Amino acid sequence: MHARNRLIVGLDIPTVGEAEKMVATLGDTVPFYKIGYQLAFAGGIEFARDLAKDGKNVFLDMKLLDIDNTVAKGVENIATMGVTMLTVHAYPKAMRAAVKAAEGSGLCLLAVTVLTSMDDADLLEVGYQADARTLVMRRAEQALAAGMGGIVCSAEESAAVRKIVGSDMAIVTPGIRPAGGDAGDQKRVMTPGDALRAGSSHLVVGRPIVKAADPRAAARAILAEMTSAL
């Protein structure tokens, strides 16, 4: 897979109008975009449909978690949108419901393990007894058993997760920062080249591109590093 198909630009942008301008600015450099909560609640769901119709790959980062029926009905509707990837929190019942609902659609379901903005202290605060790495490994095993299409985890855990899930499942890693870049609110970060070498299949990069003075140049620099790593 070429590097440009592994780079997912996070459109963590306030409005659809600004997102449209960013996609136009990046042009043919980037074919894959992530839409999360910020843009989704500002008209981003319809924008996701439009991007898919225009031939772009779309990662809809909704992190679904609810009772089985609600998750299933949500996935059924999302599967008609033409998006490429959808996130579900890695709770076994939710994952099994999502997998069943997505059967035959081609939608790649991604299991969110532990957010890259969280560390061991954060997990302890919310009541988990396991550290981040242990919890990620457990959830990777459960995602594999449920039939999910991939995993979302920190690049720090990619190598270990790859050993669990094998070569076929996607490993999508946020918290990617170019060397010397500001980590922001991310706590478990890695450079693009190191992440690919660790076993990640797709890299989500938001602010280092969309907040750059020249987003296209920033994207091309990251793609160049990814290509060298591949």
Look up 185 and say whether it is catalytic: no
pLDDT digits (tens, 9 = 90+) for 142-172: 999 999 999 999 888 999 999 999 999 999 9
Q: What is the DSSP string of 33-51?
A: EEE-HHHIIIIIHHHHHHH
Burial of residue 125 (number of CB atoms within 10 Å: 0-12, 13-18, 19+): exposed
Average pLDDT of the chain, as a whole number: 92
Look up 63 and say whether it is catalytic: yes
User: Residue 66 annotated as binding?
Assistant: yes
User: Residue 67 annotated as binding?
Assistant: yes
From CA 200, how far away is CA 151, in angstroms rounded? 10
Look up 182 and say whether it is catalytic: no
In the CATH hierarchy, which fold is given to the domain comprising 3-229?
A: TIM Barrel (3.20.20)
pLDDT digits (tens, 9 = 90+) for 216-226: 999 999 999 99
User: Residue 62 annotated as binding?
Assistant: yes
Cα separation values, 146 from 52, 165, 201, Å: 27, 12, 20
Catalytic residue among 50, 56, 66, 100: 66
**What's the confidence (pLDDT) of residue 186?**
47
pLDDT digits (tens, 9 = 90+) for 120-135: 888 888 888 888 889 9
Predicted confidence pLDDT, tens digits, the chain (230 residues): 789 999 999 999 999 999 999 999 999 999 999 999 999 999 999 999 999 999 999 999 999 999 999 999 999 999 999 999 999 999 999 999 999 999 999 999 999 998 878 888 888 888 888 888 899 999 999 999 999 999 999 888 999 999 999 999 999 999 887 765 554 544 446 889 999 999 999 999 999 999 999 999 999 999 999 999 88
Find out whether 87 and 60 touch, Cβ atoms under 8 Å: yes
**Neighbour tally for 102: CB within 10 Å:** 22
Catalytic residue among 56, 63, 100, 131: 63
